[in-house]
Structure 1
Amino acid sequence: MSQDDPPATTASGTSAENPWPLTRLAENLKAHIERAPATWIEGQLIEVNLRNGHGFLTMRDLEVEHSLPVTVWSSVLRGLPDRPEVGSRVVAHVRPSFFLKTGRLSMNASDLRPVGLGDLLARLERLRRQLSEEGLFDADRKLPLPFLPHRIGLITGANSDAEKDVLRNAALRWPAVDFEVRHAAVQGPRSVGEVIAALQELDADPEVEVIVIARGGGALEDLLGFSDERLVRAVAAATTPVVSAIGHEADRPLLDDVADLRASTPTDAAKRVVPEVSEERARIAEGRRLLRRALQDMLDRSARDLENIRSRPVLSDPEGMVRTRAEELQRLRERALLSVTHRVGRAGDEVSHLTAQLRALSPQMTLDRGYAVLQREDGTVLRAPDDAPSGTAVRARLARGSLALSSLGEPG
């Protein structure tokens, strides 16, 4: 740097020939950083060093691998009800501080409070109500589990007891069971992201028909990842049925509520996702026995029905029906002939009677009694003398033959 060059006023004005002194940058950083307002933050203590009455802590984020140093001065530390411990979940009221001597960024805590079990449960209950109001826990959203899945997805910790329990008990129930296993952290800041990634991978596999998320229980703090809103929504969005097998009866994680089926333990999950082969064989044997019995009963009924049909007169004596009908037909013929003969006889009597009446009333009978009928030549019957004037040719018709007459023309 030339003595003639004025010092740069801004960082952008510096160069290799005109650099800032390191102190200038450190002072600028300190001034900029310490203008930030105080903030409440939440995390887990992964390191606690108490020296000279001060606390030098390291807080890690609950979901990702991010951490920050936190300094608790003795004046603040003395006012805390409990000493901070590694693994504790805390909230701290911090303001950033930059140490010029070491160039180290730290958070100065003016207050440090442990997150108690009651606080965690209250938060979970609020989230539970919110997700329930959205319908994520509704029964009509639950997907049914397949009776015998072709392949089962399993998400659990590597070499964990939960994995062994699921695989062993499922194989005992159905030896041909096939698993697609994905290992993921089941507690800590990496658990939620890894479980979600494994869930989405298995859900995209068309061969996987059901997914089991398993862990062998633990303290409430260890199971918080299974109540994470991101995981709950990922399970709700899955198109493959999901079984929750966390194994924690006292405080149910939200995963239990959104899963399509909740198993009390990983062993229980194995029993719920595959049938018992011996039980199924027994059911098949019982079904075959019932089917055989039903078939035999049907054959027996059919044989009895056939025997009853064969014993009926129409089959035992087929000619009997014809013979009976022939006899009936003969009787009908005789009755018809008798009826016709009777009717004809009665009609003949009526004809004879009418004939006698006709004959008794006929002109011929009158003539046979000695009477004659006078007629003109044209056949007109004479009924009065005027009908035959004098000289009219008249014919007298007698009972047998006729006589030719001549009218005198005088009235009678």
Structure 2
Amino acid sequence: MALETSPEQPAPVRSIANAIAGWIDRLGLVWVEGQVAQVSRRPGLNTVFMTLRDSHADISVPVTCPRTLFDSLNPPLVEGASVVMHAKPDYYANRGTLSLKARDIRMVGLGELLARIERRRQILAAEGLFAPELKRSLPFLPQRVGLVTAPNSAAERDVLDNARRRWPAVRFEVVHATMQGTTSAATVMAALQKLDAHPEVDVVVVARGGGSVEDLLPFSDEGLLRTVHAMRTPVVSAIGHEPDQPLLDLVADVRASTPTDAAKLVVPDMAEELHGVRWAHERIRSLLGHRIEREEHTLAQLRSRPALADPRSLLEARSEDVRALRDRTRRSLSHRLDRAADDVDHHRARARALSPLATLQRGYAVVQDADGHVVTSIGALAAGSTLDVRLADGRVHATSTGTTPDPATPAADPHPGDDDE
């Protein structure tokens, strides 16, 4: 219902704002197409604020979207994406602003294309085709470099010229393929398989200049990605420029930002290597020189020591020690021998003193009867008994003529060894 107003009875701003809000609220849901120009996610809010811009005119409208809807989009919605929204117009009376409340968001055109690529990336990543542990290192100096590119293209010239400028002796095996269009993926796969079977090719470069997302779409083809994953030869992806990133960059062993960068990756720079060789040569000479000087200084110190300056001094000192020890040994042995000789003489004198022969030499004698018994008493003899007298120097054979007892000596038993019956 239209408000009745006049100069005398004007309507307040709130009435006009509420009337506009009520009229707009009666509008139904609409499908609107545009490009997302801006996305704002404010912390703590369950609403995401966006700006939807017309693709051909300089007209834009604010859009609010529930955070749950925004987070459920696959791939995630980014600025610049083309979308179709199912939204309801909404007028915020307090600020007098018109916006759209998004109920559904769908990618279209390039956005739909990017969404398909993102879904393919997620599937292949789940299979492990992009795993870092599968990446192979490039050879330092390959025998031959395989190159897959379009014939007579700027990418081919960049790779060949820069690689030969860095290493003039580098050899290439170039296989041309269609790098754009519906047949591009199939021709590139055939070229890769041919180079992978070549016995001298150590690394393969896939090079193409920049282009739109549609132009680079063949390099996100699933068949091409699986072919690269199955190759035994390391692959360098040099597709487009730095911002471009087809899925081939993820499955390849090395990603080059440009074809020129790929040439720098596959072959070393001869000037840098020669500089490194010269530096290493000088470094080795310097280290060897310092080592020789240090060893010469050590030898000079060793030669200056008394032991090496006159080696005989050590021998003379040791000779004196040996002579002193020898003399000391001789004296000690002589003393021990003298003491041992004295001990022998002493023991010999004691043994001689205890010997019966020594007693005989003092004038004593041993008398034996005819049976060989020692006579110790006159009672054992009778007149006419045959006797054998042992002296110090021999024996005397005698005959007893009689016996005379000694009054000072008690009578002895003629047979001291016999027992009384």
**Given the two structures, how large is their TM-score scaled by the length of structure 2?**
0.62
Matching residue of 2:184: 191
| Structure 1 residues 187 and 365, CA gap change in structure 2 (3 angstroms) | same
- State whether structure 2 residue 173 is matched by structure 1 residue 180: yes
Aligned pairs (5 A) from 1:94-243: 116-243=109-236
Matching residue of 2:252: 259
Superimposed CA distance per residue, residues 73-113 of structure 1 (whole angstroms, 9 cap, x where no aligned partner): xxxxxxxxxxxxxxxxxxxxxxxxxxxxxxxxxxxxxxxx9
- State whether structure 2 residue 237 is matched by structure 1 residue 244: yes
Aligned pairs (5 A) from 1:53-64: none
| Deviation at residue 227 of structure 1 after TM alignment | 0.6
Aligned pairs (5 A) from 1:7-406: 116-250=109-243, 252-311=245-304, 315-376=308-369, 380-383=373-376, 391-398=384-391, 403-406=396-399
Q: What is the identity percentage for the equivalent residue pairs of Structure 1 and Structure 2?
A: 53
Gaps of 5+ in 1: 1-112
| Structure 1 residues 258 and 390, CA gap change in structure 2 (3 angstroms) | farther
Whole-angstrom CA distance in 1 between matches of 2:380 and 2:226: 136
Whole-angstrom CA distance in 2 between matches of 1:165 and 1:248: 13
AA of the residue aligned to 2:331:
L
| Deviation at residue 213 of structure 1 after TM alignment | 0.7
Q: Secondary structure at the match of 1:279?
A: helix
| Deviation at residue 361 of structure 1 after TM alignment | 2.4
Whole-angstrom CA distance in 1 between matches of 2:289 and 2:261: 41
Paired residues of 1:244 and 1:263 also in contact (CA < 8 A): yes
| Deviation at residue 248 of structure 1 after TM alignment | 4.5
| Deviation at residue 162 of structure 1 after TM alignment | 2.0
| Structure 1 residues 390 and 305, CA gap change in structure 2 (3 angstroms) | farther
* Count of aligned pairs between the two proteins: 300
| Deviation at residue 380 of structure 1 after TM alignment | 4.9
Whole-angstrom CA distance in 2 between matches of 1:389 and 1:293: 126
| Structure 1 residues 133 and 386, CA gap change in structure 2 (3 angstroms) | farther
Q: Secondary structure at the match of 2:216?
A: helix
CA RMSD between the two structures: 3.1
**Given the two structures, how large is their TM-score scaled by the length of structure 1?**
0.64
AA of the residue aligned to 2:216:
L
Q: Secondary structure at the match of 2:205?
A: strand
Q: Secondary structure at the match of 1:217?
A: coil
| Deviation at residue 267 of structure 1 after TM alignment | 1.9
Whole-angstrom CA distance in 1 between matches of 2:314 and 2:397: 79
| Deviation at residue 114 of structure 1 after TM alignment | 9.8
Whole-angstrom CA distance in 2 between matches of 1:256 and 1:295: 47
Whole-angstrom CA distance in 2 between matches of 1:379 and 1:321: 78
Superimposed CA distance per residue, residues 152-202 of structure 1 (whole angstroms, 9 cap, x where no aligned partner): 222122332222322233233223333222222211112112211221222
| Deviation at residue 274 of structure 1 after TM alignment | 1.6
Whole-angstrom CA distance in 1 between matches of 2:113 and 2:397: 157
Paired residues of 1:247 and 1:263 also in contact (CA < 8 A): no
AA of the residue aligned to 1:172:
R
Q: Secondary structure at the match of 1:394?
A: strand
Say which is worse superposed, 239-248 or 377-386, in terms of deviation.
Answer: 377-386
Whole-angstrom CA distance in 2 between matches of 1:254 and 1:331: 94
| Deviation at residue 349 of structure 1 after TM alignment | 1.3
Q: Secondary structure at the match of 2:237?
A: strand
Whole-angstrom CA distance in 1 between matches of 2:373 and 2:319: 65
Whole-angstrom CA distance in 1 between matches of 2:125 and 2:393: 133
Q: Secondary structure at the match of 1:221?
A: coil
Superimposed CA distance per residue, residues 127-154 of structure 1 (whole angstroms, 9 cap, x where no aligned partner): 2232223332222322221112222222
Paired residues of 1:372 and 1:398 also in contact (CA < 8 A): yes
Paired residues of 1:374 and 1:381 also in contact (CA < 8 A): yes
Gaps of 5+ in 2: 1-105, 406-410, 413-421
Paired residues of 2:107 and 2:115 also in contact (CA < 8 A): no
